[in-house]
Amino acid sequence: MPRGGKRGHKGRAKQFTNPDEIDAQMKAEKEKAKDLPENAGDADSEESSDDDSEPKKKGVEGIIEIENPNRIVQKNKKIAEVDLNPRNRELSRREREEIEKQQARERYMKLHLEGKTEQARADLARLAIIRKQREDAAKKRETDKKVKDTKA
């Protein structure tokens, strides 16, 4: 059976590089590496100054000035600019509504305790009726008790 099965071998024959060629390539790479650090130091200093000002532009951006209103450029804030006092910042709608709801609840409870709300008036009227009924029941018990004592 031929190499590669029924269909035959489709790949190329393997080629091995000569050890002398490998040594020549290694020497050439070492020489490039020696030359590179001298030039690389100059290039790095130039690139680092460019990197600080603006990031590297891609595609047509380097040629044409493009402003995307949807793109948000993140700005680093300095510690002095950061607002640590939360009272000075604007509240969101939800926070503002929550505070208003809490204040309204406190006002209502205060009025309720003073008896100025309709619910408080209704509660007080019910309490007055219940007290009246209890007083009448207590008087009735006392009279019944006196009647039993006089009979006995």
Distance (Å, rounded) from C-alpha 130 to C-alpha 134? 6
What tokens appear for 27 in the block?
């020497």
Q: How far apart are alpha carbons 123 and 113 in whole angstroms? A: 11
Instruction: Report pLDDT digits (tens) over 49-86.
Output: 444 566 777 777 777 777 777 887 777 877 777 666 65
Mind listing the pLDDT tens digit for each residue in 86-95? 566 788 899 9
